[in-house]
Amino acid sequence: MLTRFFRFLDPTLISPDLAPRLRRLADDCEQLKAHGIVTPQMLRNAPLLEAWTPALTPEGLHLVGRAFGHPVHGDRTVMTSQLWWADPEGQWMRSLSRFYRLGSPINVDDLRGPGATVH
């Protein structure tokens, strides 16, 4: 019944890479718990996300933005996998798949265009 409304709950749709992604997430969780910080090594290969904004979906909280250096998608607009942790200082976040270095969030005024007003 739930899978009619939330397809991602259907166990037949589990992606083959889910278990390894969860293991890497758990490893990062242990490292964060042990050291209390994200090390430069952890962010070494992290793509940069610019002009990002949060997006809430039935699967959870994601970020949408322009990725640079993404290992799968290269340099283009992406929606991250579900967010798990975020730096209180706004320098990085960890999704299910990987760490991202965070650039500037989207400037809402750029979306509105010249002369637009908000009501």
Using the Cα atoms of residue 42, residue 44, residue 46 and residue 50 in order, give the sign of their dihedral. Answer: positive
Q: Could you tell me the two tokens for 82?
A: 């579900």
Q: What angle do CA 15, 6, 50 make, to 5 degrees?
A: 65
Average of pLDDT values for 30-52?
Answer: 91
pTM listed for this prediction: 0.83
Task: Give tens-digit pLDDT for 6-39.
Answer: 888 899 988 899 999 999 999 999 988 888 888 8
C-alpha distances (whole Å) from 113 to each of 42, 51, 85 are 38, 15, 32
Q: Which residue has the higher pLDDT, 3 or 108?
A: 3
Task: Give tens-digit pLDDT for 58-98.
Answer: 889 999 999 999 999 999 999 999 999 999 999 999 999 99
